[in-house]
């Protein structure tokens, strides 16, 4: 009886085991293809901005030097003095110029007297020669030649006087435009001149500060996004809580060979004198695309030692596509490569995704 029960239990266990095995064989195969998030590639106009250092300078600035060797007789201005166009800033003194002018004027008077005599003589001979046989043609020609020679001497004497008078005018140094004296390197009695120690430094520096130049060097990759008239904002360190506006007025049209950048200038109206020449500014350049380009999330770009690429899904398999990056704006990046609109790209790409990896629809 006990053997019969054991045999029945063993048979029942075998039947249960076989039925479980058959059920497992009937289960559907598991799909181990990974699920990868993709997106459709589209074009759009990317707008961004870049911050660049810039420098403010006076719209007009000039260093004043002495044209003739002389001494400073009177200094009428100092640092910070506001000057107007044509105002006398420095009165110089050169006694030898006064002596030269007096001598030149005396010679001029002498030459004028000689010319007056030769001219009168020629006119008398000319009138007399109208009566036939009274004056020979040779005498008339000689009188004319003497008059012409004396006239040339007169012109030379006048030119000498004008030259000395011009040099004498250089003894008064005037403001070339309305502005502010920002530097002074002389005192009364100092020797100044076009050569030697007197010419090492400018006598004065004058700046026009009512309007300033804001100059910025724009890297080559950004030059295509800017044009004349574009408005931009900037700040300076001394007034970080205030933002100023300016428009592009001039672009050099060429790249600096050393910096590989283009010089761009803006005019800043400064009637309230808040800004000073020499200040360093931070300029925000707006970079607005002229045409639509491919723009993708930054997570879709893979940057490796082999290059930069995105991963395209084609025929349910991954495929790497080499690209070049453009501008960044928040979490998006502009890309260029062998791509077409509406292609599917992997959103969260990684170096582990090799070419040919199967992807679910």
CATH of the domain at 323: 2.40.420.20
pLDDT of amino acid 29: 52
Is 103 domain-assigned?
A: yes
What total of structural domains would you count in the chain?
3
Is 361 domain-assigned?
A: no
* Domain range for 247: 52-59+209-288
Find all residues with CB under 8 Å of 118, minimum gap 6, and list them.
143, 146, 147, 149, 150
Is 109 domain-assigned?
A: yes
pLDDT of amino acid 133: 76
CA distances from 257 to 15, 219, 239, 260, 261 (A): 89, 11, 34, 5, 8
pLDDT of amino acid 28: 47
Q: Which residue has the tokens 């266990």?
A: 13
pLDDT of amino acid 147: 92
Is 105 domain-assigned?
A: yes
Q: Are residues 142 and 158 in the same domain?
A: yes
pLDDT of amino acid 34: 59
Q: Is the pTM of this model over 0.75?
A: no
- pLDDT tens track, the chain, 361 positions: 444 444 444 444 544 445 444 444 445 454 555 578 888 888 887 777 788 999 999 999 999 999 988 999 999 999 999 999 999 999 999 988 889 999 999 999 999 999 999 999 989 988 888 887 788 888 888 999 999 999 999 999 999 999 999 988 899 999 999 999 999 999 999 999 888 777 888 999 999 999 999 999 999 888 888 888 888 899 999 888 899 999 999 999 899 888 889 999 999 999 888 999 999 999 998 877 767 788 898 898 998 888 899 999 888 888 889 999 887 877 888 888 888 888 888 888 888 888 888 887 6
Pair 38, 204: CB distance under 8 Å = no
Q: Which residue has the tokens 């398999």?
A: 317
Is 26 domain-assigned?
A: no
Pair 185, 201: CB distance under 8 Å = yes
Q: Are residues 301 and 278 in the same domain?
A: no
Residue 61 region, left (φ>0) first, then alpha (ψ -120 to 50), else beta? beta
Rounded to whole angstroms, the Cα distance separating 87 from 172 reads 10
Residue 174 region, left (φ>0) first, then alpha (ψ -120 to 50), else beta? beta
Is 308 domain-assigned?
A: yes
Q: Are residues 276 and 317 in the same domain?
A: no
Is 119 domain-assigned?
A: yes
Is 317 domain-assigned?
A: yes
Rounded to whole angstroms, the Cα distance separating 97 from 104 reads 10
Rounded to whole angstroms, the Cα distance separating 49 from 68 reads 52
- 329 burial (CB, 10 Å; 0-12 / 13-18 / 19+) is middle
Rounded to whole angstroms, the Cα distance separating 211 from 180 reads 12
Q: Are residues 137 and 113 in the same domain?
A: yes
Rounded to whole angstroms, the Cα distance separating 314 from 154 reads 97
CATH number of residue 110's parent domain: 1.10.287
Over its C-alpha atoms, the chain yields an Rg (Å, rounded) of 45
Q: Are residues 298 and 278 in the same domain?
A: no
Pair 92, 168: CB distance under 8 Å = no
pLDDT of amino acid 134: 81
> How far from each other are the two terminal CA atoms of the chain, in whole angstroms?
64
Pair 75, 128: CB distance under 8 Å = no
pLDDT of amino acid 334: 85
Pair 230, 286: CB distance under 8 Å = yes
């Amino acid at each position: 009886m006990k053997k019969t029960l054991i045999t029945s239990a063993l048979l029942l266990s075998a039947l249960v085991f076989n039925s479980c095995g058959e059920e497992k064989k009937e289960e559907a195969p598991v799909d181990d293809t990974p699920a990868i998030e993709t997106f459709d590639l589209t074009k759009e106009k990317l707008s961004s901005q870049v911050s660049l250092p810039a420098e403010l300078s006076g719209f007009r600035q000039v260093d004043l030097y002495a044209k003739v060797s002389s001494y400073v007789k009177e200094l009428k201005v100092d640092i910070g003095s506001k000057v107007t166009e044509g105002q006398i800033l420095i009165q110089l003194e050169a006694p030898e110029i006064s002596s030269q002018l007096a001598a030149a004027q005396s010679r001029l008077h002498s030459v004028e007297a000689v010319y007056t005599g030769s001219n009168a003589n020629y006119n008398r001979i000319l009138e007399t020669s109208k009566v036939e046989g009274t004056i020979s043609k040779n005498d008339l020609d000689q009188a004319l030649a003497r008059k012409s020679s004396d006239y040339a001497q007169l012109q030379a004497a006048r030119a000498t006087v004008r030259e000395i008078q011009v040099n004498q005018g250089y003894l008064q140094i005037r403001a070339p435009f309305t502005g502010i004296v920002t530097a002074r390197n002389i005192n009364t009695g100092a020797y100044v001149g076009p050569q030697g120690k007197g010419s090492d430094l400018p006598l004065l520096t004058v700046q026009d500060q009512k309007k300033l130049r804001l100059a910025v060097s724009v890297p080559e990759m950004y030059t295509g996004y800017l044009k004349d008239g574009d408005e931009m904002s900037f700040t300076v360190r001394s007034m970080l809580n205030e933002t100023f506006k300016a428009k592009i007025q001039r672009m050099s049209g060429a790249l600096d060979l050393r910096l590989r950048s283009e010089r761009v200038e803006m005019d800043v109206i400064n009637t309230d004198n808040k800004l000073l020449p020499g200040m360093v500014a931070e300029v925000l350049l707006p970079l607005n695309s002229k045409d639509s380009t491919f723009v993708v999330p930054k997570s879709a770009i893979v940057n490796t030692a082999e290059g930069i690429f995105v991963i395209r899904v084609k025929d349910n398999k991954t495929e790497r596509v080499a690209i070049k990056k453009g501008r960044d704006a928040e979490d998006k990046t502009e890309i260029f490569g062998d791509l077409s609109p509406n292609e599917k790209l992997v959103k969260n790409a990684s170096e582990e995704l090799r070419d040919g990896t199967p992807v679910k629809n």
